[in-house]
Amino acid sequence: AWSAGFGMTSVENPLPATETTLFQIGSITKTFVGTAMMRLVERGDLDLDAKVRTYIPDFRVTDAAASAGATIRHLLTHTSGWAGDYFHGTGDGPDALARYVADMSELPQVAPLGTHWSYNNAGFTVAGRILEVVTGMPFEEALAELILAPLELGQAYLDPGEVMTRRFAVGHASGDDGPQVARPWVLGRGTYPMGGLVCHVQDMLRYARFHLGNEGAAGGEDPLLSREALALMQTPQVSVRGTDSWGLPWSVVQHARLDPGEGGSVRLVSHGGGTKGQTSLLALVPEYEFALVVLTNSDTGGKLYDEVRRWVLREYLALDDPKPEAVEARPEDLAVHSGRYRGFFTNWELGMLNGKLVGQAVYNRGFPNESVPPPPAPPPVSLGLCEADRLVALDGPGKGDRADVIRNEDGSIGWLRISGRLHVRED
């Protein structure tokens, strides 16, 4: 494995970023939670298709059907349908996850249970609470015993007190005066299962080797997970769109080869992460036993890791990953998407301006908890069609980002899925 550090840990207290500098890996943590749950499944202590209420009898959101019918598989595949970006502080006590799950009773249902994929952070705190119930341990101890310790990930932490005694990166927000340190750094204990892990690139590569089946996975007297379980985690469970799907709980995307004569597509298994000014990527190509890890401490780091990923797929593996391009579209074809789209964390309004489709986002909540005010509204963005029922941003920081138009059975637009989240059309 090859790794290197670039840049600095903080513009206010700069130290060189090295191979052992700790970064927040954000939602890549979800794959650790999924892996821990699979260990319990193989031990016979957990059933993927069991109802959440099997383990948390009083679990509920506002929708009665989702409350009663949600399963662990719904949690891991982001198909529960309730509002997911619930960044809610419940203190630092041992009951933080239990309190968070209890407070989810106020969450509205965005789509019927099991019908549409929509990225769901809240579901992973539910999964973390189930780990606590089944193991009888706090989430941090359960994750350490099931995953971190057996894989010898000695520099992976959830407790900020452990991190602050070591060299670590802080997040940065871009601005007119250059990058500024993003605060707060700490994520609340109730949100640890959705994105609380902090580690360095070398431990991430060790973790990647495990998921490629090359370290502590199969063989020997006591494998951590069987190869069959690892393969199941990387097997599509729900279709997102086209060749994009979701596993347990990995993103699974098929990529064409640059040389069509070699035939067939190649599977990319990945997960990204984002916290306050830190973004990260873990990508696996099982067919080639290849892994890529990118850890950044900038809110624009997603653009960097996207460019790195495309370059690596092309230059190392001869795989195609073209950027979306807008196609010619009549104003009336764009205008049908105009309207208000209500989300939980963000609302969007789309409308026509001088023959072009323009979108404006408004944030309803702050991150990483409700004590942080919502950020100011970003500049409006121009949108085009890149294929049927798929929009693409034509300018701004999110240039090239896509949004899926999801229709009701009668053909009317029901939702707009932006940044992986469903937004309900209101008019």
pLDDT beyond 60 at 135: yes
One-letter identity of residue 147: I
Residues 106-130: tens digit of each pLDDT = 999 999 999 999 999 999 999 999 9
pLDDT beyond 70 at 217: no
For position 276, what pLDDT does the model report? 95
pLDDT beyond 60 at 351: yes
Tokens describing residue 306: 């996207």
What are the contacts of 309-315 at 24+ separation with CB within 8 A?
309/281, 309/283, 313/255, 313/268, 313/285, 314/258
- Percent of the chain surpassing pLDDT 90: 91
pLDDT beyond 60 at 219: no
Asked which of 39-43, 62-66, 219-223, 275-279 is least confident by mean pLDDT, the reply is 219-223
For residue 289, give the nearest of 1, 3, 28 by alpha carbon: 1
Per-residue pLDDT band at 209 (split at 50, 70, 90): very high
Per-residue pLDDT band at 177 (split at 50, 70, 90): confident
For position 221, what pLDDT does the model report? 53
For residue 250, give the nearest of 229, 275, 223, 279 by alpha carbon: 229
pLDDT beyond 60 at 218: no
pLDDT beyond 80 at 216: no
Cβ-contact 122, 187 below 8 angstroms: no
One-letter identity of residue 421: R
- 22: number of Cβ within 10 Å: 23
Q: How far apart are the first and last CA of the chain?
A: 52
- The whole-angstrom distance between residue 116's C-alpha and the CA centroid of its chain comes to 16
Query: Rounded mean pLDDT of the chain?
Result: 95
Per-residue pLDDT band at 391 (split at 50, 70, 90): very high
Per-residue pLDDT band at 260 (split at 50, 70, 90): confident
Residues 269-320: tens digit of each pLDDT = 999 999 999 999 999 999 999 999 999 999 999 999 999 999 999 999 999 9
Tokens describing residue 98: 């239990």
pLDDT beyond 70 at 222: no
Cβ-contact 321, 309 below 8 angstroms: yes
Length of the chain: 427
Considering the entire predicted model, what is its pTM?
Answer: 0.95
